[in-house]
Amino acid sequence: MEVLGIDVGGSGIKGAIVNIENGELLSERHRIPTPKPAKPEDVANTIKEMVDHFNWKGKVGCGFPTPLHHGRCLTGGNLHETWEGLQVDALFAKVTGNQFSVVNDADAAGLAEMYFGAGKGVMGTVIMITLGTGIGSGIFLDGKLLPNTEFGHILYKNGDIYEKYAADSARKREDLSYDKWGKRLNKYFKHMKLILSPDLFIIGGGVSKRLHKFIGKIKVDTPIVAAKAENNAGIIGAAVSAK
């Protein structure tokens, strides 16, 4: 079965046609910059542009970078405050004419890895952490997803959240070396280890292919591996969510 998978990020919206039986991309990945500001109408029009690029008439699975409850946006996340309360799947369906399934972007990336990648067949607690504009999280117990966790919003200090301190956007914004950034991530992963005691961490997002540059600074005894699908995990998992 083929599904168009779309991964909405803070800086770019990526899409490809996916074989959801084996997780393979059946088309070249297409990327469009996320509108600035990322208001609902502008993002919806960009989603339509993506659907039109593939001349796609079928189901669409979409990973979305905010907390969701049955397709309804709970906060604007790193997009725009005007998303709060909107039914995202209904908005995209109205603008494109396609049937949409919308899932949190980190949950989508986790689904891809649990079905086809680094988490396949792993029992116990597996945590997917995506490092990008923010810190996304997906948690799985014996292969089953507990949706809509927001572990990037764990408090760090002085009321700030870890996302602002340790996301890849913080590394870029403060021009941190990978060593210095890795030390920040070490604090985050040690905290995650303390409160959840996972059996495996999977790191996704664009930096997953550069894990070797900072993994040495993360001193936890839980295995940490890169997402096998790397930055395509969100696209693949979004497509799987529409199954």
**What is the tens place of the pLDDT at every residue in 147-196?**
999 999 999 988 899 999 999 999 999 999 999 999 999 999 999 999 99
Q: How does pLDDT run across 101-142, given as a tens digit for each residue? A: 999 999 999 999 999 999 999 999 999 999 998 999 999 999
Average pLDDT score over the chain = 95
Predicted local distance difference test score (pLDDT) of residue 230: 84
Residue with tokens 């919206």: 13
In this prediction, residue 76 has a pLDDT band, given cuts at 50, 70 and 90, of confident
Residue 164, exposed/middle/buried by CB under 10 A (0-12, 13-18, 19+)? middle
pLDDT recorded at residue 155: 95
Q: What is the pLDDT of residues 82-101, one digit of tens each?
A: 999 999 999 999 999 999 99
Distance CA 213, CA 32 (A): 28
CA torsion, ordered 10, 14, 19, 24, to nearest 10 deg: -90
Q: How far apart are CA 32 and CA 205, in angstroms?
A: 17
What mean pLDDT comes out for the span 218-229? 96
Mean pLDDT of 222-237: 94
31 contacts: CB under 8 Å, gap ≥ 6: 12, 13, 14, 15
Average pLDDT over residues 49-62: 97
pLDDT (0 to 100) of residue 243: 83
Q: 234 with 63: CB under 8 angstroms?
A: yes
Q: What is the pLDDT of residue 112?
A: 97
Taken in order of first residue, the domains within the chain and their CATH numbers are: 2-107+233-241 (3.30.420.40), 121-228 (3.30.420.40)
Query: What pLDDT does 182 receive?
Result: 98
pLDDT confidence of residue 77: 81
